[in-house]
Chains A and B, each alone.
Chain A
C-alpha cells in the first residue's frame, strides 16, 4: 500500500503557480488518511472564499489518481484551523522573504 510519505511527495507536485511553492511546503495539507480503497486528504487554502477550490482539489486528485488508479481520492477542504504563515516550511518562508 502507498505510504503517507509517498502521498506527501506526490502532493508536492501541486504547486501554486503564482507563489511558486507547493501545497505541502505552504503547510496547506493538514492530514492524510490511507485506507484500503481510498485516500482522504484534509487540506485548507490560504484564504477562505477562494474561487479556485474546484481547480485545486482537481489537481490534488489528478496527481494521486495517477499513482493509485484503483483508490477513490477524497479531498476534504477545511477552514479550521485557519492557515497561518507559521505553517510553512522554513524553505517556503525563506522563499517568500518571510
Chain B
C-alpha cells in the first residue's frame, strides 16, 4: 500500500531518526520558553545577541535537526538504497548538538571570539559528516527521481550556508569583509531558508503529500519548473551578493525564486486536488496552513524587495517569524504528526500483524489534544504578528505563551506515541 512506503528494507534503525526528532522537539520547547521569558528583548532590528541566538536555536536545533532525521529516514526509502553509514549519522548528531549549544550561547553572550568561531567550526564539521554520508548514499542510487534532484541541490546549499555562517562569525572576531556584514548575512539567511530548507521541503513534499492523501494521476511538470526557477534564482543570489551595486540583479533573482515557489505551490495544489482521502487529519491541517503561509511570505518577500517597508515596526521580525513559525514550524509539526506515529507503529507492531491484535495509527495519540495544539499554535502566529505590528509587549508575551502551551501539548502527544 502506498501509504506504507515511508518504511522499507532500506530504512535505517528507528533509534537514529528518533534521536534527531527528540532533540528537535526538546529544542522547540526550550525555544518557545526562551521567547516567552525574553519577550521584552524581541523587538526592533534583528541584529541583536538574543535574537541571533534564538534564531539559530530555531534554524539549527529545531528545523535542521528535524531535516537531518527525516532525511536519514527518507533518502534511503525514496531513492531505494541503503544509508551509507549509520555510525556517521550518530557521530554527526553529537558534533552538531555541541555546535548548536556553542553557537547559541556564543550569540546570547555575544562572545564573538573563540567561543562563537569554534562552535561555527563544529557545525561545519557536522555538515561535512552529513555531506559525506549523503554523497556516499547518493552514489549508489540506481533510479533518480525529482525528489533526488531537490535533495542534491539542498545539500549543496547547506554546505554554502555553513561556510558562509563560519565566514560571518569570523568577521565578527577579525573583521575582514569589505562590503557589508549584513549583506552577507542576507546571503547566508536566504541560501539557508530557500536553498537548504525549502529545497528539502519541496522534494520531500512531492513524495509525502501523495502518500498521505492517496493522490493519483496528476502531472509533475510544475515540480520541474519550480526546481529550475529557484535554482537559477539562488545562483543569482549567490553571485550578486558579492557585489556592491546589485539592486537590479538581486531583484531579478528574487523574482525567479518567487516564480519557482509559485510553481511549487501549484504542484502541491494539483496533488491535493487529486487526493482520494478527503478527510483532513491533523497532519494535513497543519500542512495546509503552512503552505498558505509559504504563499503569504513569498508575496511578502517580493513586496519587501521592491518597496521600503522599514516604516512598519518590527518588519524584519514579522517576516522572520512568519517564515520560521508560520511556514516552517507548522509544516514540521504537521509532518511529525504523520511520520512519528507511523515509524513508532512500524518499529513496534509491524512484525506482530496477524499474530496478535495491534493498534491503529489513529490510536497512537490523542487527536483531540493535537487539534487543541493546532488552534493554540495558529492563533499564536496571528497574535504574535499583530503584537509586532502594534508593538504591544503584553500581547507578545501572551502570544509566545500560547505557542509555548501548544508546543507542550505537541510534545506530550509525541511522547505518548513513543511510549506506546
Contact = CB atoms under 8 A, between A and B. Distances in A.
A39 interface: no
A44 to B, nearest CB: 10
A63 B277 contact: no
Interface in B1-57: 1-5, 7-10
Counting chain A CB atoms within 10 Å of each CB, the highest count among B9, B10, B214 belongs to B214
Interface of B is mostly: loop
Counting chain B CB atoms within 10 Å of each CB, the highest count among A23, A52, A66 belongs to A52
Given A18-B342, A51-B77, A96 B279 contact: yes
Nearest to B7: A52
A18 B3 contact: yes
Contacts of B354: 13-14, 59-66
Contacts of B358: 17
Interface string B350-376: 100111001011100000000000000
B216 interface: yes
Given A46-B214, A56-B1, A17 B345 contact: yes
A51 B3 contact: no
Counting chain A CB atoms within 10 Å of each CB, the highest count among B1, B8, B362 belongs to B1
Contacts of B345: 17
B4 A15 contact: no
A96 B3 CA distance: 13
A16 interface: yes
Interface in A2-50: 13-20, 23, 26, 28, 45-47, 50
Contacts of B312: none
A55 B1 CA distance: 10
A18 B216 contact: no
B148 to A, nearest CB: 15
Interface residues of A, number: 33
A47 B360 contact: no
Counting chain A CB atoms within 10 Å of each CB, the highest count among B342, B349, B353 belongs to B353
B360 A15 contact: yes
Interface string B198-217: 00000000000000101010
Given A19-B3, A19-B277, A45-B2, A51 B361 contact: no
A20 B355 contact: no
Contacts of A47: 1-2, 216
Given A16-B4, A18-B4, A98 B278 contact: yes
B235 interface: no
B218 to A, nearest CB: 13
Contacts of A64: 354
Given A16-B3, A17-B342, A46-B2, A51 B8 contact: yes
Contacts of B361: 17-18, 20
A17 B362 CA distance: 8
Contacts of B1: 16, 18-19, 23, 26, 28, 45-47, 50, 52, 56
Nearest to B216: A47
Interface in A46-87: 46-47, 50-52, 54-56, 59-66, 85
11 contacts: A15-B360, A16-B1, A47-B1, A51-B10, A52-B1, A55-B4, A55-B7, A62-B353, A66-B355, A96-B277, A96-B279
Given A52-B1, A52-B7, A63-B354, 8 more contacts: A18-B342, A20-B360, A26-B1, A28-B1, A50-B1, A52-B4, A62-B354, A95-B279
Interface of B: 1-5, 7-10, 77, 80, 212, 214, 216, 276-279, 342, 345-346, 349-350, 353-355, 358, 360-362
